[in-house]
Each structure stands twice: as C-alpha cells, then as structure tokens.
C-alpha cells in the first residue's frame, strides 16, 4: 500500500472501516510479536514496485522489439521470463498468449485468484471478485466494455482460466507509431490491465496525455 505507515499518528477518521480493521489487526499482531513492521513494509514495497507490473512490461517490450525473444516467450514463457530474473511464487508455470488483429485474449481465475505475481505484482481487488470471475467467462465482451474496451464485432475473444498449474500473461498488440522505440520507451506503454486483457496498451498520444 502506498505510503504505508505504522506510526498511527494521523486522523483515523480518514480511514475506511476495512482499513481500520486491518490497522487494528496489524497493531495486535505487532504487539504480540508475530510480525515485524519494517519487514512488512519491505514486503509490500517489493511487491508493489519490484515484483509488479513493471516486470511484465519489460517482458512485453522485449517481445515487441526482439523477434527471437518473442519466439522463446511463446514457446516456453517460464524460461523466457526467467531470463530477466523474474522467478518465484506463482510464476513457476507461465504461458504467454498474444493479442493480434483477429484475436483478443483475457485472463481470469474462476476458482480463486491465481495470478502471476512475478510479472504483475499483487492482484487487483476486482480480479478476485466473484462478479469478474463469473462474468468474464459468460460475457467477456460485456466485461471488457465496462473496462472501457470496445472491440470490433468480428474480433474473437479468448478467455483463459488460470489455475494453480498454469498462469497466463497477455502480450498486448504493439501500438502503431512506435517503430524504432527502444525497450524502455515501449515498456511505458504497457499497463497491468493490458497484460490481463482487460485493457489495451497505451498509444503514444495516450502516454503523452497521462504524463
């Protein structure tokens, strides 16, 4: 959580009910010696900034710009991702699926919330919610529309169900107008949602607006 602070000196009225409950539980566990606040902060920081979407963006950017790497990624995603040093929990069995002009891929976990932490960090709340988990399979086009993604009627949507055995990384389509861009610039166009399939990569104009 950004700005995670154990000092407790701020006004608790600014916190939601669930945040207050989490804070109370954290305080109790700290007092009993079950958790170490600095270690907890470091863990959260690691998953939010290091083991996070920036990792996946690097993978996608290299796949866009390096045909040989793309081939390795599509044939053995786990090994190709490990070339960056991105390995570990929930990243052991990865499969890359590629969006094209004809096909759009989208990922869900219908049973729980299996998610590739090594390349996407912590899963968003909506990914774990029952409505997304059920509707993504039954009405993927409708769900995408709620995320602001409207696809052509003739474009096929493939929904991939993550499990404890297999987790997926969507390789979004490379935006037009990025010929000659290096990997660092390309990575800035890759969003977390585009690697789940509930969003698209930013185009250069969107990147300038976001900046």
DSSP string, the chain: -TT------S-GGGS-HHHHHHHHHHHHHHHTTS--HHHHHHHHHIIIIISSHHHHHHHHHHHHH-HHHHHHHHH-HHHHHHTTT--STT-SSEEEEE--SSEEEEEE-SSS----HHHH-SPPHHHHSHHHHHHHHH-HHHHHHHTT----TTSEEEEEE--SS-EEEEEPPPPTT-TT--HHHHHTT--HHHHHTSS-PPPHHHHHHH-
Among residues 7, 16, 75, 114, which one is catalytic?
A: 114
The contacts of residue 182 (CB under 8 Å, 6+ apart) are 65
Among residues 7, 13, 65, 109, which one is catalytic?
A: 109
Q: Is 129 a catalytic residue?
A: no
Q: Is 194 a catalytic residue?
A: no
Residue 4: name the closest of 34, 43, 33, 32 by CA: 43
Cα–Cα distance measured from residue 201 to residue 53, given in angstroms and rounded to the nearest whole number: 13
Among residues 112, 134, 162, 194, which one is catalytic?
A: 112
Q: Is 65 a catalytic residue?
A: no
Cα–Cα distance measured from residue 158 to residue 129, given in angstroms and rounded to the nearest whole number: 20
Q: Is 16 a catalytic residue?
A: no
- Residues labelled as active-site residues: 109, 112-114
């Amino acid at each position: 959580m950004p700005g995670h602070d154990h000092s407790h000196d701020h006004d608790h009225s600014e916190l939601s009910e669930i945040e207050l409950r989490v804070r109370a539980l954290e305080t109790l566990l700290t007092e009993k010696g079950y958790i170490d606040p600095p270690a907890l902060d470091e863990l959260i920081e690691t998953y939010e900034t290091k083991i996070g979407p920036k990792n996946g963006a690097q993978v996608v950017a290299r796949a866009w710009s390096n045909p040989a790497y793309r081939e390795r990624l599509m044939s053995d995603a786990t090994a190709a991702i490990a070339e960056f040093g991105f390995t570990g929990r929930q990243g052991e069995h990865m499969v890359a699926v590629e969006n094209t002009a004809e096909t759009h891929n989208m990922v869900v976990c219908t049973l729980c919330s299996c998610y590739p932490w090594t390349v996407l960090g912590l899963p968003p709340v909506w990914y774990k919610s029952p409505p997304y988990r059920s509707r993504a399979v039954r009405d993927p086009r409708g769900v995408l529309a709620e995320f602001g993604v409207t696809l052509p009627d003739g474009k096929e949507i493939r929904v991939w169900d993550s499990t404890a055995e297999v987790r997926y990384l969507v390789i979004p389509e490379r935006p037009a107008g990025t010929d000659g861009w290096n990997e660092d610039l390309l990575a800035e166009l890759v969003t977390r949602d585009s690697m789940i399939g509930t969003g698209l990569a930013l185009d250069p104009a969107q990147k300038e607006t976001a900046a």
